[in-house]
Amino acid sequence: MPRDDFDHLFDGIKGDGWETPIAISSLCEPAPLFPVEALPPWMRAQAEQVAKELQVAVDLPATLALVALSIVYAGRYNVLVKNTWKESLNLYLVVALPPGAGKSPAFSQMIKPIRDYDMEQAEAAKLRVGHVTQTRRIIEKAMKKAEERGDTNEARMQLDELDHNPEVVIPRIIADDATPEALVDIMAKQGGRLALISAEGGPFELMTGRYSDKANLDVYLKAFSGDSIVVDRVGRGATAVASPHLTIGLTVQPEVVRALSDHPELAGKGLTARFMYSVPVDMVGHRDMSLDYTSDEAVACEYRRRLTNMMGKYGEGEQVSTSIEMNAEARALFVGLRQRLEEQRITDGRLKPLAEWSIKLESSVVRAAGLLALADGKDTVDADAMRRALLIGDYWLAHAFIVHDLWQANETLRGANLVMDWMRQKETDTFSVRDLHRAMNRRFVNVDDTRPVLEILTERGWIRPLFDGPLVLNKRGIESPRYGVHPDNKRPKTGST
C-alpha cells in the first residue's frame, strides 16, 4: 500500500501527539556519569586523568578513588549520626564493565599508592619478625628446660619474658582471593581492618561458595556494620574479631553481577543490599586507538603523595574509632534524603523492589560524607560534604535500578532493548514487521516471535501501530503491519552543532 494511504496515521510522528515514553528498563536509559565534582580536587584530577588516558568512563577511576578513601579511614573513624547511631566508614563498591574495558589498569593507577605502602610496611616488618621469632624460640626452649627440671619459678619467669616479646604480625592492608575463613583470620591479626579488592569476580565466587556447597556470608555481613565475629573451629579454638571493618572494591564483568540473582541466599541475607553499584558506559568499540594522551605527572604525584600521607596515619593493631559528628545543616539534608526514600517505599512506589537496598544507601551516603569530610581535613561532616555525598547517592540509586533490571531482565525485555537499538541504527520514522524479522531473524526465528516485543514497546509508548484492529502476523493477502517510531528513540545526527 502506498505511503499516501497512511498519511492520516502519520500525524504527530515528528513529535506532535506523542506522549513521553516509559523506559523498557533502566538498561535502555543512558547511565548517569559519576559526579566527579563531589570528590576532593586532587582526587577528581587523578580520576579524570586516568579516564582520559585509558579511554574509560570516569565512573571507574572515581569509584576506585572512593575505595581508596574507605581503606584509609575505615576502622579509624565513624560518623555519629544521632544518639547511638554511628556509621563506620567502610564501603562495599562494585563496578561492572566487560572484558578489555580497562579495569585492571585503572585499579593499578588508583590503588597503587596503597598497594605500595602495604608492601613497604610488610617488608619493613620482616626483619623485626625474624628477630622476635628467634627471641621467642630461645625463651620457649629455656622455659621447657626449666619445666623439665621442675624449676617452677624459672619457668614462670620465662613465661613472663615470652609475654613481653609478643609475636609480630606482618601488617597487611589488602587481600584479594581470600576465602571467608581466611578473611576472618587475617582481620583478627590486623586489628579488624582489611580491604578486599579485586579486578576480577573471584570474591563473588567465594561468597557464593566456590569451595563448598554452602556459602559462608557471616564475615561479609558483619564486617559491613562492625558487628563482632567469632568463629569456632574444631582443634583450633575460637578466632574473634571484636570490631571488623572490611572495605570491598571490585571491578567485575556485568555477567558476574547478573549471576548474583542466581543465588537468592545473597539477597535473602541482605548481602547484595550492602553493595553500591556502578554500571558505566562501555567505551569498548568507541575508543580512538590513535589517541596519545600524555598524563600530567604532577597530578599523579599529588594523588600519590596525599594518599601515602593518609596511610602513614593508618596505625598499628586494633584501636577505638574516633567519632566525627554531623552539624545541624548536614543532618537536615540527610533527613531530607531519608524522607524522600521512605515515601517511595510504599507498595506501588518506585523503591519498593529496592526497599532493603535503599536503606543501606542511607548508610553508604553517611559513610561517603564522612570520607569526603576527612579527605578535606575536616573533623565534622558539614553541609558541603553531605551535599557532595548526596550527589554520589543519586548516582548509586540510578545505577541500582540498572543492576535490578539485570537481575529481573527476561527474554522479552532483552528483545525489546535489541529492537530499540535496531530502530536507532535504522534512523527511520516507521518500520514493518517484515523489515524487523528480516533484520533480526536470528533473534526472532518466526515472525510471531516478534509479537511480545511489539506489544511491550507499544505499551511503553516507543512505537505505535499504523494499522487498524488487532495485530495480524504472517497471513497471506495482508500486508505486513507497520509501526511508527517515537522521535526520542532516533539516534542523533552526527556532525550537528
User: pLDDT tens-digit profile of 287-345?
Assistant: 888 888 888 999 999 999 999 999 886 654 445 689 999 999 999 999 999 999 999 99
Asked whether residue 169 carries a pLDDT value surpassing 80, the answer given is: no
Of 73, 44, 81, 32, nearest to 326 (Cα)?
A: 81
Q: Which residues contact 149 (CB under 8 A, 6 or more apart)?
A: none
Measure the CA–CA gap between 154 and 142, rounded to whole angstroms: 9
Residue 2: band (very low, low, confident or very high) from pLDDT cuts 50, 70, 90: very low
What is the structure's pLDDT at 488?
84
Backbone angles phi, psi at 199, to 5 degrees: -90, 5
State mean pLDDT over 377-406. 93
Q: Which of 233-242, 280-289, 458-467, 481-490 has the lowest mean pLDDT?
A: 233-242
State mean pLDDT over 277-282. 91
Instruction: Kindly state the percentage of the chain with pLDDT values over 70.
Output: 89
What is the structure's pLDDT at 6?
38
What is the structure's pLDDT at 294?
83
Q: Which of 44-53, 142-151, 292-301, 378-387 has the lowest mean pLDDT?
A: 142-151
Asked whether residue 493 carries a pLDDT value surpassing 70, the answer given is: no
State mean pLDDT over 243-254. 93
Instruction: Give the gyration radius of the chain's Cα atoms.
Output: 29
What is the structure's pLDDT at 315?
57
What is the structure's pLDDT at 4?
41
Q: Which of 52-61, 125-134, 345-354 has the lowest mean pLDDT?
A: 125-134
Q: Which of 47-61, 90-104, 159-173 has the lowest mean pLDDT?
A: 159-173
What is the structure's pLDDT at 112?
93
Tell me the pLDDT of the chain averaged across its residues: 85
Q: Which residues contact 421 (CB under 8 A, 6 or more apart)?
A: none
Residue 70: band (very low, low, confident or very high) from pLDDT cuts 50, 70, 90: very high
Could you list the beta-strand ranges (E) of 301-414: 322-326, 380-381
Measure the CA–CA gap between 34 and 275, rounded to whole angstroms: 16
More confident residue, 164 or 435: 435
Q: Which of 224-228, 370-374, 408-412 has the highest mean pLDDT?
A: 370-374
pTM: 0.75
What is the structure's pLDDT at 451?
92
Q: If you search the block for the grid coordinates 582471593, which residue do you land on?
A: 177
What is the structure's pLDDT at 31?
77
Strands 430-432 and 482-485: antiparallel
Domains annotated for the chain, with CATH where assigned, are: 3-22+411-489 (1.10.10), 35-118+245-408 (3.40.50)
Q: Is 412 left (phi over 0), alpha (psi -120 to 50) or beta?
A: alpha
What is the structure's pLDDT at 30?
65
Residue 13: band (very low, low, confident or very high) from pLDDT cuts 50, 70, 90: very low
What is the structure's pLDDT at 262?
76
Measure the CA–CA gap between 258 and 108, rounded to whole angstroms: 25
Asked whether residue 170 carries a pLDDT value surpassing 50, the answer given is: yes
Asked whether residue 353 carries a pLDDT value surpassing 90, the answer given is: no
